[in-house]
Amino acid sequence: MLPTDILPGLEALLRHTPGPQVLKDILVIGHLGALAVGLGTVMRTDWRMLRRIRAQLTRRDIAALIRAHRKIAWALVALWATGLGLFLLKTGGDPAAAMANSPKNGCTSRIWVAPFEPAVE
């Protein structure tokens, strides 16, 4: 295959803009990745601190806690950003559309009260 035969296909590929499904997939993967990083860091740090529960904290432990804190904070920022992106992609930023598309439509706004009859003696 000659390079001139490849160029039209390459140009079409470069002009292609990803659709909403590709964007949603990227956001979901980013969301799950941020969750994995944050949760994994929390669990690893907790395990490290639990192993040293009776020992005094050293400078190395404190530095590790600071690094873990920063990583968890960035993972939380990524979770918020990807979650907001997914919300905007699904609803267009309209809260009413979010409630209309919710599987719990109306269930959270109702209060179910069991009938109560006082005992009569």
39-76 burial, b if ≥16 CB within 10 A, otherwise e? eebeeebeeeeeeeeeeeeeeeeeebeeebeebbeebe
Give the C-alpha distances (Å, rounded to integers) separating 78 from 53, 74, 108: 31, 6, 28
The domain segmentation of the chain, as residue ranges, is 18-90
Give the containing element (helix H, strand E) for 90.
helix 59-91
Cβ atoms of 109 and 103 within 8 Å: the answer is no
In tens digits, what is the pLDDT along the chain, a chain of 121 residues? 455 666 666 666 666 666 778 889 999 999 999 999 999 999 999 999 999 888 898 999 999 999 999 999 999 999 999 999 998 888 887 777 766 766 655 555 445 555 555 555 5
Residue 2: Cβ within 10 Å count: 6
pTM (two decimals): 0.65
Residue 110: Cβ within 10 Å count: 7
